[in-house]
Structure 1
Amino acid sequence: MTNEEEKVESLNQVLAYAKTAPFYSNRIGNNKLTSLADLKTIPITTKQDLREQSPYGLLATDNSLLAQYHESSGTTGQPVSIWYSAKDLKEITDQIATSGVTMTNQDVVLIRFPYALSTISHFLHEAVQTCGGCVIPADSRTTITPMPKVIDLLSRLRVTVLACIPLQAIMLAEMATLLGFDPRTDFPNLRAICTAGEPLTPYKRDLIEEIWEVPVFDNYGMTEIGTAMVDCQEQQLHLFEEMFHIEILKDDLQNEVKDGEVGNLVITTLRNRATPLIRYATGDLVQRKEKKCLCGKGHPYVIRGRKEESLLIQDQIFDIYELEAILSPLTAKRFWVAGTIDDQLYLLIEKENDSDQVSNEYIKVLEDYYKVNLFIYLLDKGTLYDRSEPLAFGMKAKPRYFLTGTELKNLLAERGILDDSKER
């Protein structure tokens, strides 16, 4: 049996099972798939579908088998309800345990993700313990463990692995510096950082590794599906092929992009999950690398960020990946926001040192390359992230890198920057 035949067989089993969920009972036909192409006859499942069907419309299992419940943050509307069975949880945590960071019973792992209804903290917590490691649950949404306390725990408890969103790793390094520590030398037991929760571009990975001088390993997933990819030892993301089938589609959500192109990630669970998802449009932009990974696991993936959190200017998409590529050669690049006014791109960056500057020559190179008008302004430290109150620093919800036009204009006005000024 070929790989495609095996995949089609798995999909047919999952589709038959998914039909027991109220939402999918009438959306999936009775005819079995004969090829992967046949999957496209099933309608896309959207985030709005999940909102409308929560909490029970997507549930496809006996309530007695349920082990855990999670919800999305609900920041963009009604929260999405996702249920997991004990079998689901074990499969997810077993896969996380295959990460290239290679947890052992010698590891002390500080988890700085939010707990409560989010997923990654719970899944990683269990995965670490599955590997025999010890967990320090330093929830990022409680005043019990503000950043100064986390720095104390990192030092006093000889933490070997820090797990947090990429931006939090940068913030923690800054807090460590404010408290008199050098992140590169004063945490000698720290051997790695594990990230999740927002796109980790190669530029941000390089920045975090430069700050802490330890390797960074990423984890990609979401509340709806749990973890779907982890970094191998080569620090490349690989899909859990036996658990998920993915499509990378053009904006029409019908046709596949060409190899190596960026497209919309659509995912189907290949296990009989308590909450099965069939052709779920995640809202994320993803790219499958054309070159196979040195680890032997095939083609790795690049997560470019959420489509709704990117800027479109004159047919040019500026996602987090593209913007951090622009920032990467600058001396100041840790904390930034972007926005547009009148089809012009604005990048606002907090200074890291008084000597930081952006040359007009570099901006001209960028404008010639992207064919857009571009303004880069350096702001005083603390403009975007207030360090004056340690309890508040880093306690916000998900990072925001993109401002609305009104927010951008207000920030420019507060800083005394004229919209039509060409002075950077």
Structure 2
Amino acid sequence: MNQPHALPQLGQWGSLAELYALQDRRLPAALEWARTSPFLKPRLDGHEPPYTVESLARLPFTTKQDLRDAHPFGMLAVDRRELATYHESSGTSGAPTPSYFTDDDWHDVVTRFVRGAVDITSADTVMVRTPYAMLTTAHQAHRAARLRGATVVPADNRSLVTPYARVVRSLRDLEVTLAWCLPSEVLLWAAAARVAGLDPARDFPALRGFLVAGEPLTEARRARMSELWGGVPVRQDYGSTETGSLAGECREGRLHLWADRFVAEVYDPATGRSAREGRGRLVLTTLHRRAMPLVRYDLEDTVEVSGEDCGCGWRLPVIRVLGRSAGGVPVGDATVTPHQLEQLVFELPAARGVLFWRARVTAGRLEIEIEAAPEQREAATTALHHAVHSRLGVACEVRAVPPGTVVPLETLTRGHEFVKPRSLFAAGEDWDKALVYY
């Protein structure tokens, strides 16, 4: 049985070469364990020693579709009685992608997660504002915070119980020190705070950090988010429901792959080759996963990985996450990604006040709408039009729309009183609300 104390710890290797040697030592046991998975056994039975990172290239990828086809337990490598939790994600496909963990698997996940730059302590109050439901993201942060003795505020972002107005109130009243959320939430909370008559840069003195994940984050948007909240740092984690945390940010502001717990390959679709570094799709092989080992799992994320030195001393590869490989859309002869557009939008001066935007392709050109106050509309639209045309090389139309168009004001202000289902109503009450949560 894989015991938590056997997991690698930061500082146990002094160079990337030593780290990669650690991977080679662990990989044979990981692949032998993977044979207990009904899905992986036939794939691995023809894969003979030596089991090295280089030899992985002889194996096929495991795809998201493979996981969906194996739903629910075709990937299971332990007895069902050993499972601690079962999860699913659906992404944009709508079909369930299963993921499951033993307690030891969870220890692996949370000890990776707490390595990040925002050091969680027992003095912290941590708001968890990502989906609990069947995803892993909130459970990961919740378990990690409790591992460090922190107080958790479970503010699920898929629940009517915690609309934005209540989140803002809770941030202030509960003196939340750290928040785990999507990057977009940080902007939405700032807007909701302003609508409530609060200054996000001044009226939340306990707040000392945002830890965000779930969306690619450009440096321009990160800087704007921090500025809105008076310089509160914004740190990233990167992962998935299928894997948990894959990378975290160090004190130097770089995102590092947890390459002591995974073998990471960068696959170049143009050449069909994989390497430890470069730009391409991220492919992972787990080294310590018990319930659901993954061998050459293609996350379909486009990344850049390098072995550049970092002052943090972690001696882990640096990764930049650029988004889903299928995330770009054709515009004329070019392909435009959300990452590219986000960078240009948030490079607009903060004085323009642009936080919310949307874009679509119409008749071979980009149609972009940005929310802007009347006095900023001309300057904002002119600057963004020039940036898109000159740097992306595509035709575009940029329109400024009144605040409340892209993100309705009601979204920021409404509150919901949580009412339990009921079946008996007094005279004059609306019994159409029987058995309905709202």
Give TM class, smaller chain.
0.7 to 0.9
The amino acid across from 2:305 in the alignment is R
Task: Please tell me whether residue 321 in structure 1 is matched to residue 321 in structure 2.
Answer: no
Q: Any idea what the Cα deviations from partners look like across 1:188-220, whole Å, max 9, x if unmatched?
A: 111111111111221111111011120011111
**Structure 2 CA distance, aligned partners of 1:368 and 1:75?**
32
Q: Corresponding residue for 1:40? A: 57
The amino acid across from 1:243 in the alignment is R
Task: Please tell me whether residue 24 in structure 1 is matched to residue 45 in structure 2.
Answer: no
**Structure 2 CA distance, aligned partners of 1:2 and 1:30?**
25
Which one has the largest radius of gyration?
Answer: 2
Equivalent of residue 116 in structure 1, options 133, 148, 173: 133
Q: Give the 3 Å change call, closer, same or farther, for CA 309–391 of structure 1 in structure 2.
A: farther
**Structure 2 CA distance, aligned partners of 1:315 and 1:293?**
38
Shift of 1:252: 4.6
**Structure 2 CA distance, aligned partners of 1:364 and 1:384?**
22
**Structure 1 CA distance, aligned partners of 2:307 and 2:29?**
30
Greater Cα shift, 9-18 or 177-186? 9-18
Unaligned runs of 5+ in 2: 1-16, 416-438
Shift of 1:304: 1.0
Task: Please tell me whether residue 384 in structure 1 is matched to residue 400 in structure 2.
Answer: no
Q: Secondary structure at the match of 2:326?
A: helix
Shift of 1:379: 2.1
1:287-306 correspondence runs (5 A): 287-289=304-306, 291-298=308-315, 299-306=317-324
Shift of 1:332: 4.5
Q: Is the 8 A contact 1:5 1:35 kept in 2?
A: no
Q: Secondary structure at the match of 1:283?
A: strand
Q: Corresponding residue for 1:230? A: 248
Task: Please tell me whether residue 138 in structure 1 is matched to residue 159 in structure 2.
Answer: no
Shift of 1:310: 1.9
Greater Cα shift, 230-239 or 54-63? 230-239
Task: Please tell me whether residue 278 in structure 1 is matched to residue 295 in structure 2.
Answer: yes
Unaligned runs of 5+ in 1: 394-424
The amino acid across from 2:203 in the alignment is D
Q: Give the 3 Å change call, closer, same or farther, for CA 300–333 of structure 1 in structure 2.
A: farther
1:327-338 correspondence runs (5 A): 327-330=345-348, 331-338=352-359
The amino acid across from 1:270 in the alignment is L
- Structure having greater relative contact order (Cα 8 Å, sep ≥ 6): 2
**Structure 2 CA distance, aligned partners of 1:17 and 1:253?**
31
Q: Corresponding residue for 1:93? A: 110
The amino acid across from 1:374 in the alignment is C
Q: Any idea what the Cα deviations from partners look like across 1:133-177, whole Å, max 9, x if unmatched?
A: 111111112222211111111111111112210101110111111
Q: Secondary structure at the match of 1:98?
A: coil
**Structure 2 CA distance, aligned partners of 1:229 and 1:39?**
21
Q: Secondary structure at the match of 1:121?
A: helix
Q: Give the 3 Å change call, closer, same or farther, for CA 228–343 of structure 1 in structure 2.
A: same
Shift of 1:262: 3.1
Shift of 1:349: 1.7
**Structure 2 CA distance, aligned partners of 1:253 and 1:391?**
51
**Identity, % of aligned positions:** 32
Q: Corresponding residue for 1:76? A: 93
Greater Cα shift, 264-273 or 305-314? 305-314
CA RMSD of aligned residues (A): 2.4
Q: Give the 3 Å change call, closer, same or farther, for CA 268–317 of structure 1 in structure 2.
A: farther
Task: Please tell me whether residue 254 in structure 1 is matched to residue 272 in structure 2.
Answer: yes
